[in-house]
Structure 1
Amino acid sequence: MDRDTLIEAMRPGSKNPLDNRDKNDLGRFGLGLKTASFSQCRKLTVVSSQNNIKTAALWDLDYVAEQNDWSLQLPEKEELNNLYMIENLEENGTLVIWENTDRIIDDTVVEKTEHIIYEKIQDLQKHLELVFHRYLAGKDKISIYINDSQLKPFDPFFTAHPATDELQKEIIVVNGEKVHIQPYLLPHYTKVSAHDYEYYAGVGGYLKNQGFYVYRNKRLLISGTWFRLIPQSEMYKLARIKIDLPNSLDHLWKIDVKKSHASPPAIIKNRLKKIIEKIAGASTRVYKSKGARLAKSDVAFWERYSARGEIRYTVNKGHPMIDAFVKKLNKEQKYEFSEILDLIADFFPKDTLYADLGNNPKEVVFENIVTDTELEEKALLLYQNKLFTLENLGILNKMEPFSKYTKNWEKFFAEQIQKGKI
């Protein structure tokens, strides 16, 4: 910037938000540089070089308070050589310097300030890698460094993974401008490595980060919200939807000065509701399908009932092995056993299971019997207790866990008879 442009840039509210802007312009109110800086420091110096001609301007809040006047200071050329990192300013470029930072460490902190600063730097890194991830990647990518460490783009849609489901893109035209909407379904944890699953959960996890991601000129404004169109749900947590806005629609989306809040206009809300129905349904199918049995079973120990908007799970008392066991009981024992099965079904720990599947799905283990040898031992024990016969041996092929047997049950029991073991 030259001198006049720099002075204008340092003026709070230097832009009329109603003015027409370049389509790639990220600013609107002309407040970002100043308000962001004053939220962290009391002295802001900006040095800009154009064709190696350097110009500087600074705001010093202590000086403003002392003079009781909002006076922008313009350092003389000889003062520039003493500024921090001035030697790194290129022929054409701009250097922003914060001094007297009073918000990084508050007055309550008395020790371990290095640890607190390190945590804040880590938070800053994650924030920048998400908000500007589309600038940090691609053909015309830019580079951002923190303490000589280059930032890596954090793509919340995990588009690089083949298991990410990129659904049908939609375009909504508002006032002659296009709003692009691209839904994604992130991979289920069974499709990715443990590291990638944790990494792409993002800060706060999958549940918090589901929903819409609103971008203006590729800069992320809002993330992880359904705009109150639907509540956050465990079943929708794999759904993330990218919305690309042109800067000409800022006023319709009610984008605030901090660019941290937006609200879609009514015409777009109605379309988003329909898109959500498709996306949420697809996300639910992905989430639920991974909980299905690894081997299909026609003879299940549990039954699912759905009626009048309610879903219940009960023990299948008609299961052949349960039925065989019941036949060995007297009338009183049959009644008591039936009551026990009802109690087991009624007090199934669904809340705990739901929480575990949501928070730590990889750690939930449903099956302990895994080898053919263990299955053979279990099958022999059940046969010896007359819970099935050789005539209905075929039920083992339809019933978990015995349906996972990699060999042939008929051949196995034939060998047991030949060896005289049964």
Structure 2
Amino acid sequence: MDYEIAAPEPAGLVASLGALGYSLSDAVADLVDNSISAAASRLDVDFTWAGTDSWIAVSDDGHGMSADELVTAMTVAARWSADRATRDLGRFGMGLKSASFSQSGLFTVVSRRADTDWQVRTWDRRLIEVTGEWRLLHYCPPSAVPIVERLLEHLDYGTVVVWQRLRGYEDVDAENRRAQISFHDGADRVARHLGVTFARYVEDSRLTLSVNGEAVTPWDPFLLEHPSTISQPPEELPLAGHLVGIRPYVLPSLHRLAEAEAAKAGGVRGWQRQQGFYVYRRDRLISAGSWLGLRGLRTEERFNLARIAIDIPAETDAMWQVDVRKASVTAPVLLRPSLLRIATNARKAAAESVRFRGQLASREHDTGLHFAWNIKRKAGTISCSINRNHPVIRALLDEFKDDPAQIKAVLRLLEETVPIAGLRALHETDTADDPQPFHTIDATNDSDAVAQQILALMIASGRSRSDALGVLRQMQPFDQIDGFWTEDVPDPSPSDCPVPK
């Protein structure tokens, strides 16, 4: 056999690991996975702003690692084929490295088992690029020493991961207020994401989580404590010698929820993007609020109350196509007919629950989602009017405030010509060919172009960029699709944003 050893070039592989698509929240969650696998009962995430010298650290009180175990943990894909314990949330043996390289150019891991001394190893991306070698350092870089000393004060054993040279902040002055706001916004997003992803662990006290000293609040997507939540019969579907647990829920109609309850149940993305399947792997949430691409299942407002929990065995990861980031799955072909049946029944029950009263209540108890239309029923008549308080409409009216007659005439014309007959014919049946927002061949370009114009309009009306992006994320139809407004990364050009007053 003739062959050559074609080893990957270290710097190129590191760059590839850093480009796997991790958001900051996904990356921190990957480190939490490792802490849970190490039987940690407490985990703290620290964000410290210092401009270019800003850092993020994750500390846990798990069982820690010996020197050999730490080297293995720092080696790319060293455990990809290893048998894993039942509490192990790992997938490919790449999480620590890929997550860390995606967010930092320098990261240090310090760990100790109860029967050993503290061990330390560091990856320096610049050193890898200069030497072309996998030189795993046996010490803390000087800039990390005071950070590690501070974090170890309250740990007898466990593991600390410190990220430095953070992506997006390599050349940012500590006095840059816009960058500082972006940095702390990232900490808030991480706290919310951890509360969603590890809710089961926090709720049953298996894990205490905090971000910058504040306890992470778990988020229950199914409102299990609410008396009006309907739990449909559970099922177990066989797959490759294992059982996949399914439990559908129909949430209470919004008129049965207090304002605070409705806002919390809507989650970070809003009610419409939270409907669908919630896929858990060893109690860790992988996918939240998706119909998994099943044929004919579209996201519609009338199905907002349908949420379905799926518990998949880790042994079936390959069949579910769990990705490296543990952030997405694909339904196995063998289960799709059963999942479609279960989802159809849950959607039907949810639609019945919101019919008429619920549809109107969802508008009246809006939890931050911006609707372009107001729908009201008064004296037996339903009226449709354009929402003048919609951020874009309001900004447009302000733009034409010197001569608003023309724009007002256009709005009135649209209100008086709503194609009721056509819509009624279209929705006689629930068909898969109903129009969807930005669902053409050029959908991504179209939605981005429209969103950029709306963003510019809101900024011109006096909003900061971060505020305008927050509004855009809660605006139909952008609350239902992904684009630059949903990217969970620091603004790469903080200087382009107006300084908030």
**TM-score, normalising length from structure 1?**
0.66
Per the alignment, residue 39 of structure 1 pairs with 102
Q: CA RMSD in A?
A: 3.5
Stretch deviating more after TM superposition (68-77 or 234-243): 68-77
Q: Could you tell me the TM-score, scaled by structure 2's length?
A: 0.56
Name the amino acid aligned to 1:136: V
1:59 aligned to 95, 100, 123, which one? 123
Tell whether the 8 Å contact from 2:253 to 2:358 is kept in structure 1 after alignment: no
Aligned positions of 1:271-286 closer than 5 A: 271-286=338-353
Runs of 4+ with deviation above 4 angstroms: 76-83, 104-111, 300-304, 344-351
- Return the match for 1:98 from 160, 163, 184: 163
Distance in 1 separating the partners of 2:104 and 2:144:
20
Unaligned 5+ runs, structure 1 = 294-299, 305-343, 361-422
1:293-327: CA deviation from partner (whole Å, max 9, x where unpaired): 9xxxxxx98699xxxxxxxxxxxxxxxxxxxxxxx
> 2 CA distance for matches of 1:231 and 1:292?
17
* Equivalent residue runs for 1:8-407 within 5 Å: 8-17=72-81, 19-51=82-114, 53-75=117-139, 82-84=146-148, 85-88=150-153, 90-103=155-168, 111-138=177-204, 140-229=205-294, 230-288=297-355, 290=357
- Please say if residues 207 and 234 of structure 1, whose CA atoms lie closer than 8 Å, have aligned partners that are also in contact: yes
Deviation for aligned residue 1:199 = 1.5
Give, in whole Å, the separation in 1 of the partners of 2:189 and 2:144: 32
Cα distance in 2 for partners of 1:273, 1:88 equals 52
What is the CA-CA distance between 1:288 and the residue it aligns to? 0.8
Higher RCO structure (Cα 8 Å, ≥6 apart)? 2
CA pair 22-38 structure 1, distance change in 2 beyond 3 A: same
Question: What is the rounded CA distance, in whole Å, between the counterparts of 1:231 and 1:215 in structure 2?
Answer: 21
SS of aligned partner of 1:48: strand
| Contact 2:105–2:167 (Cα < 8 Å) also in 1 | yes
What is the deviation of 1:92?
Answer: 2.3
Q: Conserved in 2, the CA contact under 8 Å of 1:185 and 1:283?
A: yes
Amino acid at match of 1:44: F
SS of the residue corresponding to residue 238 of structure 2 reads strand
Conservation of the 8 A alpha-carbon contact between 1:20 and 1:248: no
Counterparts of 2:169 and 2:144, CA distance in 1: 26
**Higher mean displacement: 149-158 or 107-116:** 107-116
> Following TM superposition, by how much is the alpha carbon of 1:228 offset from its aligned partner in structure 2, in angstroms?
2.0
Structure with the greater alpha carbon radius of gyration: 1
Q: Please list the CA deviations of residues 375-414 of structure 1 after superposition, one character each: whole Å capped at 9, or x if unmatched.
A: xxxxxxxxxxxxxxxxxxxxxxxxxxxxxxxxxxxxxxxx
Q: Work out whether residues 173 and 179 of structure 1, in 8 Å CA contact, stay in contact via their aligned partners in 2.
A: yes
Distance 2:129 2:206 in 1: 41
2:126 counterpart letter in structure 1: D
Deviation of residue 162 (structure 1)? 1.2
> Are the structure 2 counterparts of residues 121 and 303 from structure 1 closer, same or farther at C-alpha, using a change threshold of 3 Å?
closer
Letter of the structure 2 residue corresponding to residue 258 of structure 1: R
Count, aligned residues: 309
Shift, 1:292, TM fit: 9.8
**CA drift at 1:91:** 2.3
Once the two structures are TM-superposed, the CA of residue 76 in structure 1 deviates from its matched residue by: 8.0
Distance 2:381 2:263 in 1: 33
Q: Structure 1's 191 and 117: CA in aligned 2 closer, same or farther, altered over 3 A?
A: same
**Alpha-carbon offset, residue 86 of structure 1:** 4.2
Instruction: Could you tell me which runs of 5 or more consecutive residues in structure 2 were left unpaired when the two chains were aligned.
Output: 1-64, 361-377, 383-415, 428-473, 477-501
Q: Match of 1:15, SS?
A: coil
Question: Aligned-pair distance for 1:172?
Answer: 0.6
With over 3 angstroms needed to count, the CA separation of the structure-2 counterparts of 1:248 and 1:291, relative to structure 1, is closer
Matched AA of 1:122 = D
In structure 2, the residue corresponding to 1:134 is in which secondary structure? helix
Q: How far off its partner does 1:281 sit?
A: 0.9
Q: Matched residues in 1 for 2:125 and 2:258: separation? A: 50
Letter in 1 for 2:256: K
Query: In the TM superposition, what is the alpha-carbon distance from 1:115 to its structure 2 partner?
Result: 1.4
Contact 2:144–2:162 (Cα < 8 Å) also in 1: no
Change (3 A) 1:169 1:71: same
